[in-house]
Amino acid sequence: MRKKIKFLMFSLCLFLWNNMLMAQTNTPDDGSFMKSNGKIYVVMAVVVVIVLGLFIYLIALDRQIRRIEKK
């Protein structure tokens, strides 16, 4: 029974490994798809907006905590 479970787990790992490797072969090289459509700039803009929003939230939270500590 243990040998069957080991064999099944090993087979599953090999199957997943194979699928993972095959999935990487069809990707466009150097992100040319995103660059050709100009969408890379949209993605970067969204990332920058999210990071800036987090920093602004943290600064506002820090100010509120300072105000509460002074009281």
Judged by DSSP in three states, 38 sits in coil
pTM value surpassing 0.95:
no
Spans of all domains in the chain:
1-28, 38-71
What is the reported pLDDT for 69?
94
Give me the count of residues in the chain: 71
- pLDDT tens series, the chain, 71 aa: 777 777 777 776 666 666 555 555 555 555 566 666 777 788 889 999 999 999 999 999 999 999 999 98
